Structure 1
Amino acid sequence: MASYISSLRSLVGHRPLIFNSASGGLLNDKNEVLLQERTDTGDWGFPGGYLEYGESYKQAVVREFKEDSGLSVVPVKLLKLSDSFEYEYPNGDQVQPINCFYLVKYVGGKLLDHRTNETSNLKYFSLNSPPHFFNEQHEEMFNVLKGSL
């Protein structure tokens, strides 16, 4: 079955759309944050993604984190609601993502050890040495996470 996003895009093409998304910041015992290297840009971002129809932000961050990283998490605290960014994907899709960014807690699973259609690599980064983020929204989330500790 096609995803909600794929179904919409088949109808509207690359036109600008507003989507709801959820992302999570997971820290290890060294206070390093887990980030995902994206297959579409080769840049880094937080595990997360767009809500499916009928899904809550909390449900989406749990599902997306598992899909993107292999890890099971639970949302602990909402760190930021972000709605002021626009982004154009490499394929031309234009979006204004309304994102709920959560601090999440690890509850199980192990990091993916293979490439998927969205994740080429996973790595923990020091909060003092951020990588190149794929968009400004993820850079802002990184700074919000760093400022919350």
Structure 2
Amino acid sequence: MAYIHDLRQKVGHMRLILNSASGALLNDQGAVLLQERADTGGWGFPGGYLEYGESYAKCVQREYLEDAGIHIKPVKLLALQDYDEYTYPNGDVVQPINAFYLVQATKQAPQAPKPSETLRTKYFALDQEPPLFFNAQHAQMWEILQHN
């Protein structure tokens, strides 16, 4: 987040277009792993903003490790989302361009997620949608999973 932090130091709460990547990891029963976010509370798909020079695929791998403590690889691009706006509790407004991937775990031994980003992770059946963070974007991702 150093890139975004440095950018915000220069532009304050100005509206920004930012690139992000997130992923859906399904277990053997078809339930999806979500993170309960430390910053906003709600549940969401692990993911986050690209650092300068980073690809969407590398970003989702890094963010999954930070948010869920799991090494993953992107398997399939499910959607490119580019029309929603989100206002963070501190007043920052963003239009994220998000690459949403189906991902697969690559290592069995997970590590602890960053406590500054994730309160906990949990698998949810696709017919039991929890209260979602950034409801428009994450609700769309939820719907995409239900139809794949």
Q: TM-score range by the shorter chain?
A: over 0.9
Query: 1:3 maps to which residue?
Result: 2
Q: Counterpart of 1:105 in structure 2: which amino acid? A: Q
Match of 1:26 in 2: 25
Match of 1:71 in 2: 70
* Structure 1 position 111, deviation (Å): 5.5
Instruction: After superposing the two structures, state which structure 1 stretch, 81-90 or 139-148, moved more.
Output: 139-148
Match runs of 1:89-100 below 5 Å: 89-100=88-99
| SS at 1:14 equivalent | coil
Residues 36 and 123 of structure 1 are in contact (CA less than 8 Å); yes or no, is this contact kept in structure 2?
Answer: yes
Match of 1:107 in 2: 106
Correspondences of 1:29-40 after superposition (within 5 Å)? 29-40=28-39
Q: How does 1:104-143 map to 2 (within 5 A)?
A: 104-108=103-107, 109-110=109-110, 112=112, 116-135=115-134, 136-143=136-143
Q: Distance in 1 between matches of 2:144 and 2:111?
A: 24
**1:35 Cα deviation from its structure 2 partner:** 0.2
SS of the equivalent of 1:71 reads coil
SS in structure 1 of the partner of residue 147 of structure 2: helix
What amino acid sits opposite 1:73 in the alignment? I
Q: Which moved more, 1:129-138 or 1:115-124?
A: 115-124
State how far apart, in whole Å, the 1-side matches of 2:115 and 2:123 are: 18
Structure 2 residue ranges without an equivalent (≥5): none
Of all paired residues, the percent bearing the same amino acid is 56
Unaligned runs of 5+ in 1: none
Q: How many residues were matched structurally?
A: 146
Report how far residue 115 of structure 1 moved. Answer: 6.2
Give the TM-score of the pair, scaled to structure 1.
0.94
Q: Which 4+ runs in 1 deviate beyond 6 A?
A: none
Pairwise CA distance, 1:10: 0.5
Provide the C-alpha distance between the structure 1 equivalents of 2:12 and 2:61, rounded to a whole number of angstroms: 28
What is the TM-score when the length of structure 2 is the normalising length? 0.95
Task: Determine if contact 2:66/2:114 at 8 Å carries over to the other structure.
Answer: no
Match of 1:23, SS state, is: strand
Alpha-carbon deviation of 1:39? 1.0
Distance in 1, Cα, partners of 2:117 & 2:9: 20
Is 1:115–1:121's contact at 8 Å kept on the other side of the alignment? no
Letter of the aligned partner of 1:75 in structure 2? P
Distance 1:70 1:115 in 2: 8
Aligned mates of 2:51, 2:90 — CA distance in 1: 21
